[in-house]
Amino acid sequence: MSRPLDHSRPLWEIYLVEGLAKNQTAVITKTHQAMIDGIASLEIGQVMLDVSPSPRTNVENLWMPQPEPSSLQLVADAVTDIVQRPGELVENVRSAALDTVATVEKVFNAFGVLASAVRTAATPAPGTPLNVRITSPQRRFAVARAQLDDLRAIRKTHGGTVNDVVLAALSGAMRNWLLSRGENVTGSTTIRAMAPLSVRDADPDSGNNVSAYLVDLPVGEPNPVVRLHHVSHAMRAHQESGQSVAADALVKVSGFAPPTLHALGARAASSFSRRLFNVIVTNVPGPQVPLYAAGARMTEIFPVVPLAKNQALAIGVTSYDGGVYFGLNGDRDAMSDVDVLATMVEESVEELMGTASAS
């Protein structure tokens, strides 16, 4: 992940890693953000993976592209279309006029959104070891695991959503991580996370709807249940007040309109990142049925979220077949202890599970 893709070749790569423990094999995928329409790994997985141990039977259809038209040919075709369908030209002009009116209306309606974004920008993110100048492309990567049923049990006991539980667990892990580094942690200490959430419509052709939230994780709170309640309250307040548009607006103001969650985290306004948030946390639900590649069952899947400017850590979370998988991507120098943080994520989930069992 430290090496950029070669732009002279197709903007994706797949690595097959053999010889792992227990006779396992790993598949590592990299996809340029310009090609992403969905989570990169799951998007490629739609081609590679099957829902049963029996591989699909693919019928090969040889496709040959037409020669690229010349500029003269394009002009000639356009003139021919206008002559043959003059009514369409009038309709295009009319549509353009209506689009202009609609655009003006959208601009006026966007003032409220931009005002929310400006208010957010006026409140800088707290200073943490997570926001440092990144000078090297080298990375460190660590993983953590949880069970989806455990997170649901915690939610059932204390309320909120599964995503709230994930953020609360990360809050507890980051609290312990800061303490392990000797950082000053008080009752009011927070870490601001940019947490884009993806909601897929029932229509598979409708694309992805993305909402992004800036939420202050209560790492200064020692009680895990109180941390969860703080996170749930903050997320609920965002949804009910409409302030959730702030992060979306900031991303769009900076020229990015990412179509998916992990792309949103990776392409967020890098020039604003150090000021507005400390860490990106993307939580994307995956399929809850086992998938197979050439008859081999996929057991785990870990997302890798690229680092934004001045961001030492990016966290991706994906659920699959009853498991919840955390991928922690960190700068080699600033996050030399990323594996320690990953261990603390699992410990934080266990701590929350203890409160659910005791209730």
Residues 203-225 have pLDDT tens digits of 444 444 455 678 899 999 999 99
Helix locations, the chain, DSSP H: 40-48, 71-84, 86-122, 148-158, 162-180, 224-241, 245-253, 261-266, 273-276, 338-358
The number of C-alpha atoms within 13 Å of 238 and in the hemisphere containing its C-beta is 23
Question: 105-288+299-358: which CATH topology?
Answer: Chloramphenicol Acetyltransferase (3.30.559)
Cβ–Cβ under 8 Å, residues 140 and 337: no
**pLDDT-based confidence at 168, cuts 50/70/90?**
very high
**pLDDT-based confidence at 250, cuts 50/70/90?**
very low
Cβ–Cβ under 8 Å, residues 116 and 246: yes
Distance of CA 100 to the CA centre of its chain: 33
- The C-alpha atoms of residue 85 and residue 94 are separated, in whole angstroms, by 15
- The C-alpha atoms of residue 136 and residue 153 are separated, in whole angstroms, by 41
- The C-alpha atoms of residue 328 and residue 319 are separated, in whole angstroms, by 15
Most confident of 110-124, 193-207, 271-285, 289-303: 289-303
pLDDT per residue as tens digits for the range 8-26: 998 888 999 999 999 999 9
Query: What is the reported pLDDT for 321?
Result: 92
C-alpha closest to that of 190 among 234, 244, 241, 249: 234
Angstrom distances, CA of residue 177 to CA of 111, 181, 328, 358: 40, 6, 13, 26
pTM listed for this prediction: 0.75
SS3 258: coil
Judged against a pLDDT cut of 70, whether residue 342 lies above it is answered with yes
Spatial neighbors of 350 by CB under 8 A, at least 6 apart, are: none
pLDDT per residue as tens digits for the range 186-207: 999 999 998 875 444 444 444 4
pLDDT-above-90 percentage for the chain: 37
Query: What is the reported pLDDT for 87?
Result: 52
**pLDDT-based confidence at 309, cuts 50/70/90?**
confident
Angstrom distances, CA of residue 51 to CA of 29, 161, 204, 297: 20, 28, 17, 9
- The C-alpha atoms of residue 348 and residue 169 are separated, in whole angstroms, by 5
- The C-alpha atoms of residue 14 and residue 53 are separated, in whole angstroms, by 21
Query: What is the reported pLDDT for 21?
Result: 94
